[in-house]
Amino acid sequence: MGIYMDRNTITDYFKSSKNHSLSGKTKSYEWRLSALKKLRKGILQYETEILKALQKDLGKSDFEGYVSEVAFVVLDIEHTIKKLKKWMKPKRVSSPMLQWPCRSYIHYEPLGTVLIISPWNYPFQLLMAPLVGALAAGNNAILKPSEVASATAQICEKIISDSFLPEEVMVIQGAVEETTALLELPFDHIFYTGNGMVARIVMEKAAKNLVPVTLELGGKSPCMVLGENDLELVGRRIAWGKFFNTGQTCVAPDYILVEKNQKDELLKHIKNALEFFYTKNPKESPDYGRIINERHWDRITGLYKAEDVLIGGEAQREEHYIAPTLVHADLNSPVMKEEIFGPVLPILEVENVNEALSIVHKFDKPLACYLFSKDSEIEARVVNEISSGGLCVNDSLVHLSSQTLPFGGVGESGLGRYHGEFSFLTFSHQKSVMKRYQILDLLLRYPPYLGKLPIIRKVLNYIG
């Protein structure tokens, strides 16, 4: 376990996986159902070890680890098992009158062998959730977990090796060298979750083999507090969404835009919520985690100055600890120049919805957008004027938990979507099938065409 592979060994495993895919064994409903059940069984069997690994890697509490990682994936598996037969069924669609009599439908088939590359912030969920879709669609998969969250990577490898044959699903450990070797292979799909810089490398490598990609990225997700609000509730929900997983969430609120007359009261309620969640000393709270490593600690603490701190600000490098922190900021502040990905939340005053929208438009399209407001007109404007991967009104993060909503970015925040049926579709080829019958052959379409053009114009205008 955990032994890094050389390039030749990686290529051998890839070839084995491709051969297994070509055998057609994974196409049946029975294989897919069995694979999903084996994955669920392995996760439940190693639940305690998964939670321990998440605690070791990220200081994540058992509650957060269970809700956002273990249960998230298990519920996705159970939803997929329930719906799989329906999703697999060919979808009948209408046929053009000109081709009558015929029947048209969409046939869903596996892509083949797919590569899933996951990040360190939700190291279990973001490796296993795409795998659920890949298996449901009848694919083989090679998984590359993040080496930064090494304890979780190890338990993921254990679950997979106990549950599947290597040619069905395989975990390959490693860092840049191993990932580079994987990206040079002609997979049938690559699913990458991480940052935009690496995503460009993934896309460039994939392009050389014409491999389609799904890119789940991030960005500066705005959180707007506009119009009439219950600010105690708003403060509590913002605090929870921002500081869950110590702010290391791709859809965490990245900055607050609040009307001037609501700022002080909102800050008061956020502070009260944080003290209620984690006490006045979050460092001692069993429910508050840690930054993944010193490199990220250095980056995050370098984004703000002590004089800008409104709440929190305490930090200890040797323990990878940064307290839940709110800071005053403007558009020129370092904290507004990049995605924070940590427990620091800048707050900016705005006069009205117009100013808030203009600020959001200065940034790339975000993965998530949050609006807190009881005003339906403001809500309608945000829905219609802000392009984002997802929008959540009057809460934070929770839109991810819906298996009936697609999750994914737009523009710089990502390419493609998954969760629920959208995962199945991402990892399926939707093959167009038209079946015609050997009766009523329309001779008008065959040469010679002399004199037929006026007739075909009338026919097409009539049916159009």
Task: Name the residue ranges covered by the structural domains of the chain.
Answer: 7-217+414-429, 222-402
Q: Which of 262, 183, 249, 196 is nearest to 401 (CA)?
A: 249
Residues 246/58, Cβ–Cβ less than 8 Å: yes
At 361, which amino acid appears? H
Query: How do residues 44-69 score in pLDDT, each as one tens digit?
Result: 999 999 999 999 999 999 999 999 99
For the cut 80, the answer to whether the pLDDT of residue 4 exceeds it is no
Residues 42/159, Cβ–Cβ less than 8 Å: yes
Query: How do residues 431-453 score in pLDDT, each as one tens digit?
Result: 999 999 998 888 888 999 999 99
Query: H helices then E strands: how many in the chain?
Result: 16, 18
For the cut 90, the answer to whether the pLDDT of residue 259 exceeds it is yes
Instruction: Output Rg (C-alpha) for the chain, integer angstroms.
Output: 25
Catalytic residue list: 216, 250
**For the chain, percent of residues with pLDDT exceeding 90:** 95
Query: How do residues 15-30 score in pLDDT, each as one tens digit?
Result: 999 999 999 999 999 9
In Å, how far from its chain's centre is CA 144?
Answer: 16
Query: How do residues 115-163 score in pLDDT, each as one tens digit?
Result: 999 999 999 999 999 999 999 999 999 999 999 999 999 999 999 999 9
State residue 351's pLDDT score. 96
Rounded CA-CA distance 1/279 in Å is 40
State residue 1's pLDDT score. 41
β pairing state of 325-328 and 189-193? unpaired
Looking at the structure, give the CATH architecture of the domain made up of residues 7-217+414-429: 3-Layer(aba) Sandwich (3.40)
At 233, which amino acid appears? L
Fold for 222-402, please state it: Aldehyde Dehydrogenase; Chain A, domain 2 (3.40.309)
